[in-house]
Amino acid sequence: MEKYLEVERSIIKKYRKEIWKRFIAGINEYEMIKPGDRIAVCISGGKDSMLLAKCIQHLQKHSDFPFEAKYLVLDPGYSEENRQQIIKNAEMLNVPIEIFDANIFGYVVDVEDNPCYLCARMRRGHLYKNAQLLGCNKIALGHHFDDVIETILLSMIYGAEIKTMMPKLHSTNFQGMELIRPLYMVRESDIKAWVRYNDLTFLQCACKFTDASDNQQSDKELLSKRKEMKELISSFRKINSNIEMNIFRSVHNVNLETVIGYRKGDTKYNFLDDYDEKP
- Residue 217 to residue 240: CA distance in whole angstroms: 34
97 three-state secondary structure = strand
Torsion, CA 154, CA 159, CA 161, CA 163, rounded to 10: -40
Q: Is residue 75 part of a domain?
A: yes
Q: Is residue 265 part of a domain?
A: no
Q: Is residue 149 part of a domain?
A: no
Domain span at residue 16?
3-144+164-213
pLDDT single digits (tens) 232-251: 999 999 999 999 999 999 99
Tell me what pLDDT residue 113 has.
63
Q: Which of 135, 147, 53 is nearest to 93 (CA)?
A: 53
Q: Is residue 247 part of a domain?
A: no
pLDDT single digits (tens) 68-114: 999 999 988 788 999 999 999 999 999 999 999 877 666 566 565 66
Tell me what pLDDT residue 12 has.
97
Q: Which of 170, 183, 162 is nearest to 20 (CA)?
A: 183
Which residues, 6+ apart, have CB-to-CB distance to 193 below 8 Å? 15, 18
Q: Is residue 248 part of a domain?
A: no
Q: Is residue 59 part of a domain?
A: yes
Q: Is residue 274 part of a domain?
A: no
Q: Judge contact between 85 and 45, C-beta under 8 A.
A: yes
- Residuewise pLDDT in 10s, the chain (279 residues): 799 999 999 999 999 999 999 999 999 999 999 999 999 999 999 999 999 999 999 999 999 999 999 999 998 878 899 999 999 999 999 999 999 987 766 656 656 566 666 677 778 888 999 999 999 999 999 999 999 999 999 999 999 999 999 999 999 999 999 999 999 999 999 999 999 999 999 988 656 555 444 445 555 566 678 889 999 999 999 999 999 999 999 999 999 999 999 999 999 999 999 999 877
Q: Is residue 62 part of a domain?
A: yes
Domains of the chain: total:
1
Give 19's DSSP letter. Answer: I
153 three-state secondary structure = helix
H helix runs in the chain, sequence order: 3-12, 21-29, 47-62, 80-92, 104-108, 115-133, 145-157, 188-197, 217-239, 243-250
Tell me what pLDDT residue 225 has.
85
Q: Judge contact between 38 and 191, C-beta under 8 A.
A: no
- Residue 244 to residue 259: CA distance in whole angstroms: 22
| Residue 102: C-alpha distances to residues 20, 108, 228 (Å) | 33, 12, 32
Q: What is the CATH number of the domain that holds 104?
A: 3.40.50.620
